């Protein structure tokens, strides 16, 4: 895995070493991290943690399960095999192809390796189980510690991936000294379900904690880097104010820095206004809203307006008004919440009994501005 050079990357070597030290000391073989989207989590994993692991003598495998949400097992097997036997990846899938053929089918194997498989989703998940087992056995032969980083790991919480999750846990359980695992994700609710629900394959398997977020030091570093290339350096106070206005979201702040650099003569205020307009582009939010049921929209609207107890009598009365139906029962908000916090939608996270928060604060602002659910 090559270490890419990005002059705008804010390195966090101490944080990377802290995670590796926890693994090195044998305190744990797995841990879970969560942070909402655009907070710099994936960038840290790929550009800080994995390179540090390689320098420390680990093999390093990274997979983002959002790259193939339908087939996480195949993505996991490919990542592990690529880390442990990169030159033999084609042979790895070729060897697996023979038994998998018996499932019958056609289609494409990972990374464009052609096969004659035409499997439905259930069969592809079956094919993924032996693939994971074979990849872990290949890791055994490498005789080198492996750091497996699973980004957007909450995909594994989906019911259709239960067989893959069980197979992965079984394989990792017997390899704790040699394979260290970091589960990361953008949905706190889905990750908590993975690790705290008794029936879940990864129940009690890894401690879950928030990813340490970027703050003033990050802003200072961006301002310093900007000063090296800009004709009109950005004032630190303006940058800090912009970071706060953008809800301390690193990716949005990078958009702001980019806009300022391209149009320095317009100043910080205009760069911030442009960035905020880009952030609040509602095209994606409108698409999500349109795909939801009216009941789900009603629950979201109540939550966005600050209703604390979504299961209470007052909330039920408001739901009946929004849906214009007296037939709405107490089960309605519970059913909607299960969908809204589930691995597929990941729109809300539980903070207490009946109380939930939005995974994306900008989406909450967008929803709160709506007058109706239609």
Give the tens place of pLDDT for each residue, 217-266. 999 999 999 999 999 999 999 999 999 999 999 999 999 999 999 999 99
Tens-digit pLDDT profile for residues 17-62:
999 999 998 878 999 999 988 899 999 999 999 999 999 999 999 9
Say yes or no: 264 and 330 in one domain: no
Q: Does position 96 have pLDDT exceeding 70, yes or no?
A: no
How far apart are the C-alpha atoms of 247 and 253, rounded to whole Å? 9
Question: With bands split at pLDDT 50, 70 and 90, how would you rate the model's confidence at 111?
Answer: very low
Look up the CATH number of the domain holding residue 25.
3.40.50.300
- The SS3 assignment for 35 reads coil
Domain for residue 61, yes or no? yes
pLDDT value of position 113: 39
Q: Which of 187, 210, 233 is the last residue of a domain?
A: 210
What pTM value is reported for the model?
0.77
pLDDT in tens, 314-334: 888 888 888 888 778 888 888
For residue range 148-177, what is the model confidence (pLDDT) as tens digits? 999 999 888 887 888 899 999 999 999 999
Average pLDDT over residues 81-86: 84
- 139: which residues sit within 8 A by CB, 6+ positions away? 59, 80, 83, 84, 146, 175, 178, 179
Do the beta carbons of residue 205 and residue 238 sit within 8 Å?
no
Whether residue 270 is found in the same domain as residue 243? yes
Domain presence at residue 308:
yes
**Whether 270 and 133 share a structural domain:** no
What is the predicted pLDDT for the residue at 214? 96
Task: Indicate left, alpha or beta for 111 from its phi (over 0: left) and psi (-120 to 50: alpha).
Answer: left
Let me know if residue 148 belongs to a domain: yes
Q: How far apart are CA 57 and CA 301, in angstroms?
A: 50
Residue 71 pLDDT: 83
Q: Are residues 198 and 225 in the same domain?
A: no
Backbone angles phi, psi at 80, to 5 degrees: -65, -45
Instruction: Tell me the residue range of the domain where 353 lies.
Output: 293-368
Whether 285 is in a domain gets the answer no
191 and 226 assigned to the same domain: no
Q: Assess whether pLDDT exceeds 50 at residue 116.
A: no
Domains: count for the chain? 3
Is residue 303 within 8 A of residue 358, CB to CB? The reply is: yes
pLDDT, tens digit (0-9, with 9 covering 90-100), for 267-287: 999 999 999 888 877 567 888
Do the domain assignments include residue 4? no
Q: CATH no. for residue 347?
A: 1.10.10
Whole-number percent of the chain with pLDDT over 90: 43
pLDDT at 100 over 50: no
Residue of higher predicted confidence among 274 and 107: 274
Q: Return the residue matching tokens 């009603």.
A: 298
Could you please report the per-residue DSSP string of 194-250? HHH-TTSTTTTSS-EEEPPPP-HHHHHHHHHHHHTT-SSPPPHHHHHHHHHHTTT-H
Please give the C-alpha separations between residue 354 and each of 199, 303, 343, 359, in angstroms, as whole numbers.
22, 10, 19, 16
Residues 6+ apart with CB under 8 A from 72: 65, 128, 155, 156, 161, 164
259-288 burial string, b = 16+ CB within 10 Å, else e?
Answer: bbbeebeeebeebbebbbeebeeeeebeeb
Angle at 212 between CA 207 and CA 218, to 5 degrees: 165
Residue 6, pLDDT > 70, answer yes
Q: Do 229 and 319 share a domain, yes or no?
A: no
């Amino acid at each position: 895995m090559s270490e890419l050079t990005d002059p705008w990357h804010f390195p966090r070597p101490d944080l990377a070493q802290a995670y590796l030290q926890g693994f090195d000391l044998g305190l744990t073989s797995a841990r879970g991290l969560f942070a909402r989207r655009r907070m710099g989590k994936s960038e840290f994993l790929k550009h800080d943690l994995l390179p540090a692991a390689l320098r420390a003598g680990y093999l390093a495998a990274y997979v983002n399960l959002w790259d193939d949400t339908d087939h996480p097992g195949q993505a996991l097997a490919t990542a592990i095999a690529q880390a442990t036997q990169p030159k033999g990846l084609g042979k790895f899938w070729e060897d697996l192809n023979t038994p998998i053929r018996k499932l019958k089918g056609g289609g494409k194997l990972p990374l464009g390796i052609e096969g004659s498989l035409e499997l439905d989703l259930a069969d592809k998940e079956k094919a993924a189980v032996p693939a994971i087992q074979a990849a872990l056995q290949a890791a055994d032969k490498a005789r080198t510690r492996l750091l497996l980083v699973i980004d957007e790991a909450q995909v594994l919480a989906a019911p259709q991936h239960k067989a893959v999750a069980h197979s992965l846990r079984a394989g990792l359980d017997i390899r704790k000294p040699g394979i260290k695992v970091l589960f990361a994700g953008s949905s706190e609710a889905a990750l908590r379900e993975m690790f705290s629900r008794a029936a879940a394959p990864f129940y009690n398997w890894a401690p879950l904690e928030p990813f340490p977020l970027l703050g003033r030091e990050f802003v200072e570093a961006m301002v310093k880097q900007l000063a090296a290339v800009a004709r009109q350096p950005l004032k630190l106070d303006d940058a800090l104010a912009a970071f706060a206005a953008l809800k301390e979201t690193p990716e949005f702040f990078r958009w702001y820095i980019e806009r300022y650099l391209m149009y320095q003569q317009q100043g910080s205020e205009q760069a911030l206004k442009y960035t905020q307009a880009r952030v609040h582009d509602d095209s994606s939010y409108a698409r999500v809203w349109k795909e939801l049921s009216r009941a789900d929209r009603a629950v979201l609207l109540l939550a966005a307006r600050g209703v604390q107890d979504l299961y209470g009598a007052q909330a039920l009365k408001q739901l009946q008004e929004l849906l214009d139906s007296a037939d709405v029962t107490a089960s309605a908000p519970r059913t909607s919440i299960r969908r809204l916090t589930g691995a597929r939608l990941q729109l809300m996270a539980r903070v207490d009994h009946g109380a939930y928060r939005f995974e994306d604060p900008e989406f909450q602002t967008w929803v709160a501005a709506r007058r109706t659910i239609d």
